[in-house]
Amino acid sequence: MNVRRIAICAVAAGAYAALIRPRLLRWGATAQEAGASYPGDDLVEHATGQSTMAASLPAPPEDVWPWLVQMGCQRAGWYSWDRLDNGGRPSADRIVQEWQDLKLGSRVPTVPSGAFWFTVAAIDPPTTLVLRADLELPCGKWFDPRGPRPKAYTDGIWAFHLRPLPDGGTRLIVRTRGRGRPAAVDRLIAWSFGEAAHFIMQHRQFRNLRRRVGRAQAGDVGSSASATG
């Protein structure tokens, strides 16, 4: 019985690795988009994990950009599953001018308390926004990637690249790259949880961004409001 269970698990793991995982890592992206290099890729050298997901949005890059720069907890949220990544607070459904001040080096909180955050590692309106997280493990304390690395850490980027489409829309390409130490533990976490979780959250973000951008283009939401919806 144990041998049979091991064999079933091995087949299931093989099927996931060969058939499902590649689709998760490049959902919505063309082969050309997935194989391209983007600004910020070089921030994580020798990455042990990478994904490229993409979606088309019904507005030009300059109209999509304000939705991205206002992301973050205690800001506009992440436009994903708010109960999971925004403390249950609904993500904003309009552009909020007081959250449009993002710049290189800004901290973007990832939890409502502000104890953890992304750092803006690259920003070039309205084409490139690269968020970076460098965390010492297991405490989750931020470390400076320019200095010595902890014995155990995770280091990665979450990058948003906007490209204009011929129809006036935007191709939003999201690239993640990461690495960690110990390498075996880092890859085990990524395979068993991290990659699937990112797919679920990113897919939801694309869907909600498309809805918000479409409504704004149709004039159904304000473009300079100062409160969340």
Q: CA-to-CA distance for 44 and 176, rounded, in angstroms?
A: 10
Q: Can you give the pLDDT at residue 5?
A: 59
Q: Can you give the pLDDT at residue 7?
A: 46
Q: Can you give the pLDDT at residue 82?
A: 95
For residue 34, the SS3 value is helix
Q: Can you give the pLDDT at residue 154?
A: 86
Let me know how many helices (H) and strands (E) the chain has, helices first: 7, 7
What does each C-alpha distance from 163 to 29, 42, 85, 116 come to in angstroms? Answer: 13, 20, 27, 30
Q: How many residues does the chain have?
A: 229
Q: Can you give the pLDDT at residue 171?
A: 98
All structural domains of the chain, each given as residue ranges with its CATH number in brackets, are: 2-217 (3.30.530.20)
Q: Residue 49 carries which side chain, given as an amino acid letter?
A: G
What does each C-alpha distance from 179 to 108, 153, 190, 195 come to in angstroms? Answer: 21, 8, 10, 13
Q: CA-to-CA distance for 217 and 21, rounded, in angstroms?
A: 35
For residue 156, the SS3 value is strand
Q: Can you give the pLDDT at residue 218?
A: 84
Distance of CA 229 to the CA centre of its chain: 22
What does pLDDT average to in each consecutive run of 10 residues of the chain (229 residues)? 52 46 86 96 93 97 98 96 93 95 95 91 98 88 85 92 97 96 80 85 97 88 42
pTM score, whole prediction: 0.87
pLDDT of 109-143, one tens digit each?
Answer: 999 988 889 999 999 999 999 999 998 888 888 88
pLDDT of 136-169, one tens digit each?
Answer: 888 888 888 888 888 888 899 999 999 999 999 9
